[in-house]
Structures are given as C-alpha cells and as structure tokens.
Structure 1
Amino acid sequence: MHYHIILTKDCNLKCEYCGGGSDSLPGEIQYSIDELKQFISLDEKPILEFYGGEPLLRIGTMEQIIDSLSARFVIQTNGLLLNKLKYHYLKKFHSILLSIDGTKNVTDRARGTGVYDRIMDNIKLIRQREFAGDLVARMTVAQGTDIYENVMHLLTQPGFDHVHWQLDFEMFWEAWEHTVPGLQEWINSYNSGISSLIKWWVSKMERTGQVAGIVPFIGVMNSLLNGTDSHLRCGSGTDFFTIMPDGRISACPVSIDFDFSVIGSIYDDVPSSLPGKAEVGEPCTSCDIFRICGGRCLFVNRSQQLLRENGYEMICSTVRYLVKELQDALPQIQELIYAGVIEKSDFDYPEFNNGCEIIP
C-alpha cells in the first residue's frame, strides 16, 4: 500500500489557496524511525510518499527514513529545495510530484514572485543529476485559470513527463474568503478547455503516435478501454493512507483534522486492517458514473456541509463533463489502437498508485 509520510506541517511558501501548511499540532514527527519501520515492515510492498507542509524542509529525517526502510519512494514538493537533495537520494525516487500551476504568471500569482523560475531551474538541475524517474507537474487549478493554456504550457516544458491537476477545493467552500462571483461561468469555461485539450490529445496521437502525459485523460481512458470499474481513484481509505506526525493514520492527507478520516495509528494497527474504514457515501455511490469516477474525493464527499450552495453539484458537473468527453473520444482511440498507431499499453499509467489522484 501507499503511505503519505507527513514530515512536517511547516512550509516555505504561503500560497493564496493554502496559506503555508497546517496549524494543528503536532507539527513535527513524534514517533521514532524504528516505530515507523516496525509498522511499514508489515506491508509486503510499501510505497512511501514524503509530504508536508514542505517535506524537503526536513531532508535529514527523510534521508534517515530512506536509509532505514525498504520501499518505493515518492515525494510531493513545491520544488524550491530540490537542489538540496543529494544525488544518492535523488536516484531513490520513483516519482516526484512537483507543485506548479502552469505559466510563470499563474504560478507566481498564487505562490509568490520568482517561484516559477526557481522551480524550472531545479528541474533542469535534477535532470542534469540524472534523475530518470517520473516527474509530474501537479497543478492546483483555481477559479479563473485557463486549463487549456496552462496544461499545454507545462506539457511543452523540458523535464516533465506528466501533468496532473486538482480543482482548488477551497473555492467551493461556503466560507472561502477569496471566492468571487462568476464561479459557474468559470466552470463552463473550464469544461470548454477540457474539450479543447482532449481534441488536441487525440490529434497528437494521430499525428505522432504518442500519447501525451495528461494524467486524468490517461487514467480514465484506461478504464474505458478495458471496461474496468474503479474504486476511489486517489486510493484514500483503500490502498493509500497518511501517517501523521503523532503516528495516527488518516485515510486522506487533506482531511487529517477530521474525525471521519482518522482510522488508526502505527502503534495499534497493522496495514491490512486499514482498508475500508473510511469510504465515500451518497450521492456518489448511487451515481451512474460511480464505477468510472470512483467518488472523486473522500474529503469532499464526507464534508459536503462545508460547501457553498450547489457546490457539490458544481464539482460533480466537471467530472461528468470530463468523463463524457473521454467516452466520446473512445471510438477514435480504439481505431488508432486497431490501426497500430498507438498501443493499448500506452494507457497503463500509473505503474502503481503514485499520488496522482486521476480525477481532478
């Protein structure tokens, strides 16, 4: 299974949709590495994803964990301290999920002046240092973002293998202070951008025989091609769990302060006892696309009371639109596979649950 390891709740940025980590205590790891090792050793194929706050603020602790445990390693980082990661440890990572929101203007507006350039410099550096793993641009898409322009920008930058994004959940909160009028109008624009992206994506397959690394499209198309059902695609509560600094275990890394999400601890539980303790409920489980979507987000599903009026319906409308557009593209992609232009295996991503939630 996959475990987020929250190394610290501190962050060296104060992004406008986040604010710089979580204020809840404890903010730093309280358990020993031996205690973590004892728990993780009960899992035959563990995947550890370093998380925060900003995990690279605690490089020393991260190095100790890597040295002590046998696992696959992933990190989700804002990228500003990637230059501090030693060659030996850099090579240990299967995937790096790097937070970047698109163009320089969009990224710096949310994250701070100069952040984009520092990220791009560090991407160039780790590639020069022979990082050959999967580098994923992980966008937070806030209201007003042009999804087509910003995804296309990241796809054309050297270094990135894949692009994934999540809609900024905060803009659907009833009490979110940055929400501005026109959210439904922006959603309509976002959906239009999804259509344009899918059209380009399929066209690129036709022209080049290559499947561009747009994670939400690849993940959903894989299910459509194979006719397979999906559980909650991020894996929260199924095969993906978060180990908090005090050793408690949450089903989701975002909802660690909510009682529904806290399902155990490294002291009192074993990995095999965790799946199924926190699951999505209605209205998702009765939805006609539940087998494809899987419920989108455990946190949003279980905290619907926090959303603005019609907020849940707005979020779901984006998922429905995405799925419908990919279903419409399915016959064309099947024809390309049949003609040998692309391979069905091109859609076998990710190799394992690497922290890409698939459904935006």
Structure 2
Amino acid sequence: MMLWLVFTTGACNLRCSYCGGSFNPKVVPWRINYNPVKLKELIEKDNNATVIFYGGEPLLNPRFIMWMMDNVKASRWGIQTNGTLTELLPNEYWRRMSVVLLSIDGRREVTDAHRGFGAYDRVIKALMRLKSIGVNRLIARMAVTRLTDIYIDVTHLLNIGFNLVHWQLDVIWDGKWDVLTWAKSNYLPGVRKLVELFLSNLREGRVIGIVPILGVLTAYLHKPYRGPPCGAGYRSIAISTDGRILSCPIAVHENWAVLGNVNVGFNLIDIESQLPEMCKTCEYRQYCGGRCLYAIKEGEEYWGLDGVLTVDYVTKETIRTILEIGPEVKELVNKGVVKLSDLYYDPILDSTEVIP
C-alpha cells in the first residue's frame, strides 16, 4: 500500500505568506508534460493505492483529475486543496473522493491574515457544499504560525464540521523566528489543553479527530513508525508535473529527493539509513520517526543547528504530553469504553501530518 501524491499543476491562485504561491514553472511545470498512461501503469501495480491530488492548487487542472479518476484503478482518491475553486470539479467526482483536505488555519482572522482577505469564508462555503453533496471525510489542513492559538483554532475547526484536523508548524522552510518563546508561552500549553479535551471525550466513548494525538497514540498502542509518519520516500511518493518521482512533495529542487521518473519507474529509500544519529538513539523515535525527511536533509541549511534543536524540543514536548494519557487510554480500552481499533490511525490513508 502506497500514497501517491500527484501534482496536477505547479500553479496556485493564492499567495499565502508562508508559501509564496505558485512554483517556478521551470521547476514544477504548470501543465502535465509526461504521458499520464505511464503514471497509470505505475499506480496500477499497487493493489491498494491511495491517490491524492496535489499542487500548486490541484483544481486549476480539473480535466487531469477527471481523466485520472476515470481511467486509473485506485483504492482511494483524495485531494489537498485551498478550497477556493471546488466548483470546477463536477459533483460526481467529489462523491468518489475518500478524503478531501481543505487548507484553513483556524479562525477567520488567522486564516485571512496569511491566505488573503475572504479566504476563510470561501473555504467554509466549500466545506458546507461538499458536506451537502455527500463528501463524508473532510480534513482541515492548518499552517500554525505565531498568530495561532492552537487550542482555540483546532477546536473551532472541529466545531464547524471538519472530521479531523492536522497541522504543520511554520518552521524550517520559512524565515526563522522565535519559536521557542512562542511554544513555551502559547503553543505547548495549548497542546496540553487539546490532549485534556481528547481524554475527556474518550472517557465518554468519543474519539475526536485531532490527528497528532491519534497518530502518536497509534504508535503507542499499535505499531511504531519506521520513519517520518507521512511516509516520505518509503510509503509515500510525489509525482511532479515533469514526470519526476520525488520522496517528498516540497523537495522539488533537491536532487536527493528524486527517486525515479514515470517513464522508467522508481526505487523507494531505506528510511532508517536516512535518519541522523540523534533520531536513531532518541527515546521518542517510535512516535516521531524523525518528524520530517525534508527537515532532516535541509533543516540546518535553513535554520542552523540551534533552530533544528528548537523544533526538536517542541516535538519532544508535544509527544511527552500525549504519552502522559497513554496509561489511562489503555485502561479505557480494557474497560470497553472505547475500542482499540477506534484508536488506530494511518496517516498514509489521509496524507496527513502526525508530527507537526
């Protein structure tokens, strides 16, 4: 079983502050310039493929999405979209999606500050429309910045109708900022409140969809992660619009990320060999798996060793906080308050991030 992240275009109709908008078309072309039949042949060798459309903004190329869904055999379909162009894809294709991920950073003021005025309202409109036509699994994709109140923003998204919420910290790829002070005063206390909320619901037999908590508990209760939970390069690959097959969808410039090409096939990486020594010997390795392949490869280049260690500290504190409830979670399972199977979450099936 593999996750196939298929770029439909390198173009985007937004210019979010932490992203910058479209890819350079010389790096990620804005049109597909390989024979899609070659990709079809590769995907269909995987008997249990999950295909998630990616970009850029994938809905800028709806014809390619429709061709793929009409001609390629896959177990599950999904899309990661900014939610502003959902009307470009006919309802029949939305109903075939196993999962839809909408980019939204929390409350209106937080979302619009980074994604542009009106972005929040457009995503909420898309959320309600997709729910009304029968899309059952809708996930909020958050970028977490210094404007975020993680408890308020995550609970806001759950309360307005998202099934699950996951997030990525605005670190490493963006400009360096004082993450440590913010994390200690704001983010980590908020994470603790989310964990407390999760546990209080679990005591009543309810599992709420907070992906990092579910993902860490999955490693605790079921099976540890061999590498970054996103599966980059060993359970997940990205297919660029130029036909390159990449281990990580954000590593579009880096030669180390190239695994092959749609015309010749690809080889997965030995993820254990990619982990630095600090990860191999870390007590939290089974829950974190190294956090992020891109950060492992490029983090010091962008943020220096001190910056990497700051993010590592925040990661460890997050995992520690979640693991504190582990014994009680086991007790609730043993008492039959909640099923063990309800606490199994595979991020590959949803293309989500367990470790922010």
Aligned to 2:327: 331
Aligned to 1:137: 140
Any idea what the Cα deviations from partners look like across 1:263-303, whole Å, max 9, x if unmatched? 21111125xx3243783333322322112210100000001
Question: What is the Cα deviation at residue 11 of structure 1?
Answer: 0.4
Aligned to 1:204: 201
- Which of 271, 274, 283 is the matching residue for 2:278? 283
- Which of 290, 309, 313 is the matching residue for 2:309? 313
Any idea what the Cα deviations from partners look like across 1:151-185, whole Å, max 9, x if unmatched? 11111112x11010111124x75xx2xx45x4321
Contact 2:237 2:245 in 1 (8 A): yes
Q: CA separation in 2, counterparts of 1:97 and 1:280?
A: 29
Question: What is the Cα deviation at residue 103 of structure 1?
Answer: 0.4
Gaps of 5+ in 1: none
Q: CA separation in 2, counterparts of 1:121 and 1:356?
A: 22
Question: What is the Cα deviation at residue 25 of structure 1?
Answer: 4.3
Aligned to 2:127: 123
- Which of 204, 215, 218 is the matching residue for 2:211? 215
SS in 1 for 2:143: strand
Question: What is the Cα deviation at residue 115 of structure 1?
Answer: 0.8
How many pairs were matched up? 349
Q: CA separation in 2, counterparts of 1:186 and 1:103?
A: 19
Distance 1:269 1:250, change over 3 A: same
Contact 2:164 2:209 in 1 (8 A): yes
Q: CA separation in 2, counterparts of 1:92 and 1:82?
A: 14
Q: Which amino acid aligns with 1:127?
A: K
Q: Which amino acid aligns with 2:274?
A: E
Distance 1:27 1:280, change over 3 A: farther
- Which of 241, 244, 248 is the matching residue for 2:237? 241
Question: What is the Cα deviation at residue 351 of structure 1?
Answer: 7.7
Question: What is the Cα deviation at residue 70 of structure 1?
Answer: 0.6
Contact 1:280 1:302 in 2 (8 A): no
Gaps of 5+ in 2: none
Aligned to 2:56: 53
Aligned to 1:39: 42
The within-5 A match list for 1:241-260 is: 241-260=237-256
SS in 1 for 2:352: coil
SS in 1 for 2:101: strand
Distance 1:227 1:36, change over 3 A: closer
1:322 and 2:318 aligned: yes
Contact 1:102 1:150 in 2 (8 A): yes
Q: CA separation in 2, counterparts of 1:352 and 1:263?
A: 19
Distance 1:227 1:305, change over 3 A: closer
- Which of 291, 295, 298 is the matching residue for 1:296? 291
Q: CA separation in 2, counterparts of 1:260 and 1:282?
A: 19
Contact 1:235 1:353 in 2 (8 A): no
Aligned to 2:167: 165
SS in 2 for 1:287: coil
- Which of 88, 98, 110 is the matching residue for 2:92? 88
Distance 1:209 1:80, change over 3 A: same
Q: CA separation in 2, counterparts of 1:33 and 1:18?
A: 28
Contact 1:49 1:73 in 2 (8 A): yes
Q: CA separation in 1, counterparts of 2:218 and 2:284?
A: 15
SS in 2 for 1:283: helix
Q: CA separation in 2, counterparts of 1:100 and 1:331?
A: 33
Question: What is the Cα deviation at residue 42 of structure 1?
Answer: 2.3
1:146 and 2:122 aligned: no
Aligned to 1:30: 33
Aligned to 2:11: 10
Contact 1:15 1:110 in 2 (8 A): yes
TM-score by length of 2: 0.93
SS in 2 for 1:3: strand
SS in 2 for 1:5: strand
Question: What is the Cα deviation at residue 47 of structure 1?
Answer: 1.6
Aligned to 2:117: 113
SS in 2 for 1:253: coil
Q: Which amino acid aligns with 1:216?
A: P
Q: Which amino acid aligns with 2:113?
A: R
Q: CA separation in 1, counterparts of 2:132 and 2:225?
A: 40
SS in 2 for 1:308: helix
Contact 1:281 1:301 in 2 (8 A): yes
Contact 1:101 1:138 in 2 (8 A): yes
Any idea what the Cα deviations from partners look like across 1:285-343, whole Å, max 9, x if unmatched? 23221122101000000013323241111111111111111221111212222222222
Q: CA separation in 2, counterparts of 1:352 and 1:241?
A: 11
Any idea what the Cα deviations from partners look like across 1:10-44, whole Å, max 9, x if unmatched? 00110000111211243321112212212222222
Question: What is the Cα deviation at residue 46 of structure 1?
Answer: 1.7
